[in-house]
Amino acid sequence: MPNLRVTKGDHYTSEPQLTALGKDVLPPSLQPALKRARRYLKAAHADTTQQAYHEDWTAYKSWCAAQGLAPISDGPGEPLVGLYLSDAADHLAPTTLNRRIFGIADGFYARGRAFDPHHPLLRQVMDGIYRLEGRPVAARSPLSYEELAAMVRTLGTNLRDRRDAALLLVGFFGAFRRSELCALTVADLSFRAESLKLLIRRAKNDARRLGQIKSLPRETDPALCPVAALHRWLAAAQLKEGAVFRSVDRFERLGRTALTPRSIARLVKSRYQAMLKATGHTDADSEERSQLISAHSLRSGYITRAGLKGDSLWQIRARSGHKTLEGVSRYIHIPD
């Protein structure tokens, strides 16, 4: 079913098909349902996805204008989009072009026009682009267990260090995305004798908010146990409700709101860099090596370690929350 949104001033604001069912068509009893339907349509895509689609459509529209062509004509749109993809293949990555197909499709749908993002012409053009222009994705390095242990051992017992130890260990052993760490609240935690259960209310690949339960067993080393580290952090911060991971200023004052994904990325990189310096690396070397580390390194680090230890893809998937086993396997980095 096509997307029913329409653009006004290049922003998604209304739904033409629903708007056609106005006061003159629908009885008063259905007006509340019409209002809710509009709200649901706007929520069909995340804000970041809507912004990306808007940028994709704008880029395509600008390209058409430069060629003296209309982005939408009376005929099928797929051939012109195929030319656009071919023309852009020399300066845009294939993965970006593939995403743009769906952003352009969204622009067609918003204007009430049919468009098939899976059209054979577009698929074959993209197959050729991948074959001839494909390039490796610059992936972040997975964090090894030994590196994680070294990072945690450089931390002290002040409030910020307690927080960072808990975040690093929970993020690693839970194979968390940084957005999931940001969203964790105290109410989502359930401490058990042998494990910790965490409720993930919404994940990146869980648009319907079905949720996921992650279970983290206690590790034998208390210093590297995510359950123990999280308990120490909550006790030190005296957290009873609200966001689990939040800011701590230089005066040891606790913030009220959750850390952002960007601040978690900075935290992981800075703690990795500090670990390298503490273990004898030069400032220049520490700076260079830390560029390959991000918050994603926690997630990929756990998955790589579990895969190399012999855990099945099904077991790893239960922890990571991937939709497919193929998605899990792509995270396992075989060392050189």
From start to end of the chain, where are the E strands? 6-8, 11-14, 189-191, 195-200, 212-217, 246-248, 254-258
Do 153 and 296 belong to one domain? yes
Position 197 in a domain: no
Helical (H) or strand (E) element with 129: helix 120-133
Position 67 in a domain: yes
Last residue of a domain, one of 133, 154, 169: 133
Type of residue numbered 163: R
CB 260 within 8 A of CB 197: no
pLDDT for 65 = 95
Last residue of a domain, one of 133, 156, 174: 133
pLDDT per position as a tens digit, 97-136: 999 999 999 899 888 888 999 999 999 999 999 888 876 6
pLDDT for 2 = 35
Position 269 in a domain: yes
Last residue of a domain, one of 98, 133, 168: 133
Do 35 and 124 belong to one domain? yes
* Residue from 255, 87, 112, 211 nearest 100 by CA: 87
CATH number of the domain within which 35 lies: 1.10.150.130
pLDDT for 328 = 76
251-255 contact pairs (CB < 8 A, 24+): 252/158, 252/159, 252/160, 254/159
Do 160 and 305 belong to one domain? yes
The residues near 86 (Cβ < 8 Å, ≥ 6 apart) are: 125, 129
CB 80 within 8 A of CB 64: yes
CB 164 within 8 A of CB 155: yes
For residue 230, the enclosing domain spans 145-186+218-329
Position 59 in a domain: yes
Do 117 and 166 belong to one domain? no
Q: What string of pLDDT tens digits covers the 336 residues of the chain?
A: 333 333 333 334 445 555 555 556 678 888 788 778 777 776 666 667 788 889 999 999 999 999 999 999 888 999 999 999 999 998 888 888 999 999 999 899 888 888 999 999 999 999 999 888 876 655 568 999 999 999 999 999 999 999 999 999 999 999 999 989 999 999 999 998 888 999 988 655 444 555 678 889 999 998 999 999 999 999 999 999 999 999 999 899 999 999 999 999 999 999 999 999 999 999 999 988 888 898 989 999 999 998 888 888 888 888 877 777 777 777 777 766
Do 158 and 128 belong to one domain? no
CA distances from 262 to 161, 183, 294 (A): 18, 13, 10
Do 176 and 259 belong to one domain? yes
Do 64 and 182 belong to one domain? no
pLDDT per position as a tens digit, 274-328: 999 999 999 999 988 888 898 989 999 999 998 888 888 888 888 877 777 777 7
Do 157 and 78 belong to one domain? no
* Residue from 239, 243, 234 nearest 201 by CA: 243
CATH number of the domain within which 317 lies: 1.10.443.10
pLDDT for 121 = 95
Do 83 and 165 belong to one domain? no
**Helix, strand, or coil here: 234?**
helix
Position 336 in a domain: no
What's the number of CA atoms in the CB half-sphere (13 Å) around residue 4?
17
Do 325 and 225 belong to one domain? yes
Do 309 and 280 belong to one domain? yes
Position 335 in a domain: no
Do 56 and 118 belong to one domain? yes
Edge-to-edge strand ranges of the sheet holding 212-217: 189-191, 195-200, 212-217
Question: What is the tally of structural domains in the chain?
Answer: 2
For the entire predicted model, the pTM comes to 0.66
Tokens linked to 219: 């590790």
Position 201 in a domain: no
pLDDT for 77 = 93
Position 207 in a domain: no
